[in-house]
């Protein structure tokens, strides 16, 4: 599943003519493209989907949404290690690998 997740901008830089940001999603830090929100600033929050910041968001809304996603286990699903997730999906009830 791909969620639109709120995150806080930690830093901004330009790479090959594209504005990019380092964004914190409740402890998970990822690189995000700012082409749709070119005026976003460090410290502000945005909704991010598939690596693109799409909409500015206030801090309280971002906090509540991140808490909800975390309580539902959706942050781990969205940002967890894909290799670990694949291994768990292949594991049977006793941990044996199903093929």
Other Cβ atoms closer than 10 A to 70:
13
Summarize the confidence of residues 30-54 as an average pLDDT.
Answer: 95
Give the model's pLDDT for residue 39. Answer: 95
Q: Rounded mean pLDDT of the chain?
A: 81
Give the model's pLDDT for residue 1. Answer: 44
Angle at 83 between CA 47 and CA 3, to 5 degrees: 20
How much is the pTM?
A: 0.70
Q: Assign 77 a pLDDT band (cuts: 50, 70, 90).
A: low
């Amino acid at each position: 599943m791909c969620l639109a997740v709120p995150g806080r901008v930690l830093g901004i830089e330009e790479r090959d003519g594209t504005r990019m940001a380092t964004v914190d999603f409740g402890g998970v830090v990822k690189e995000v493209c700012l082409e749709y929100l070119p005026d976003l600033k460090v410290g502000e929050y945005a909704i991010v989907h598939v690596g693109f910041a799409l909409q500015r968001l206030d801090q309280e809304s971002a906090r509540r949404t991140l808490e909800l996603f975390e309580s539902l286990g959706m942050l781990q699903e969205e940002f967890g290690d894909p290799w670990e997730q694949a291994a768990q999906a292949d594991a049977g009830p006793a941990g044996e690998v199903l093929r």
